[in-house]
Amino acid sequence: MPEMTMAQALNDALDLALADERVVVIGEDVGTTGGVFRVTDGLAARHGSDRVIDTPVAESGIVGAAFGMAVAGLRPVAEIQFLGFAYPAFDQIVSHVGRIRNRSNHRFSAPMVIRIPYGGGIGAAEHHSESNEAIFVHTPGVKVVVPATPRDAKGLLLAAIDDPDPVVFLEPIRVYRALKQDVPEGRYTVPIGVAAVVREGTDVTIVSYGAVLRDARRAAELLGAEGVSAEVIDLRTLSPLDADTVLDSARKTGRVVVAVEGHRTLSVASEVAALVQERALYSLLAPVERVTGFDTVVPLKRTEHHYIPSPDRIAAAARQTLEA
């Protein structure tokens, strides 16, 4: 079983997917250059420039063209270079991509994937570090998937390409090359809409996803050294949310911390906290704690580490639930 980074695992998934002649990859620099993070490196040489298509710098045009391809029967995979560049394409997503099944009374669907690198942690410039995944979760008709590991990234991307409806696939920039993992060879899928318990525990539940999952696991290790048994859940899909896995853990431990990189107000963390307090209130031993980014523009390199949730902040929130 080869050891891969997330970038390599995603490249492997796309290479396998392109065996299906309906699959095309489209975006800025995805062909000759191999993408801004080299996730599509070598694919144009292997599959041709008519299957791995370079586009102008026009995000609305990329998603609009991919939408037309999907309605016509192809399986396009569109790449937007950074989440902060996705806003020009948002009109296409909310007005057309997410609505076509409802608008056409199920006569048409848009089986397409929109890959978007997101999040901070690499000291990038303005518009390159944003974590506004909640705006896509708020959009009816699209699924929102966020892998945290190379193995899940490959399986979830292949599942997203197979999906009959549009999937926004958010890739944590900080994880692209930060870790390696054994990744199965060949084709496999990880089901969309199913969270994973990545560490079992009995005292407190930490819910996270994407790049912050590593910080959640480190926080669990810090707590473990203090004799606290922390369970860690990787949501993997933000829409549809796997409520059962979250609620089962909340009822077991009685304490929940939600750690996300996005803004605090009306965030995925807010939704998970509301869900737990609506449906598992009588199992709770303490209020749900949120550890999030702040309701500001993501700061630049010098102060970025204050914005992104750290293992220390997550562990501190867990201790607060234990003291309640």
Active-site amino acid positions: 128
Q: Judge if the upstream peptide bond of residue 309 is cis by omega within 30 degrees of 0.
A: no
Asked whether the beta carbons of 25 and 62 are under 8 A apart, the reply is: no
Pairing outcome for strands 113-118 and 52-54: unpaired
Query: Which residues partner with 79 through β-bridges?
Result: 27, 115
Query: Chain centroid to CA 19: how far?
Result: 25
Tokens of 304: 């970025």
| Dihedral angle computed from the Cα positions of residues 27, 29, 32 and 35, in that order, rounded to the nearest 10 degrees | -90
Residue 205 C-alpha from the chain's centroid: 20
Cα–Cα distance, 233 to 245 (Å, whole number): 8
**Could you tell me if 88 and 79 are in contact, meaning their C-beta atoms sit under 8 angstroms apart?**
no
At residue 20, what is the residue type? D
Measured distance CA(268)–CA(263) in Å, rounded: 9
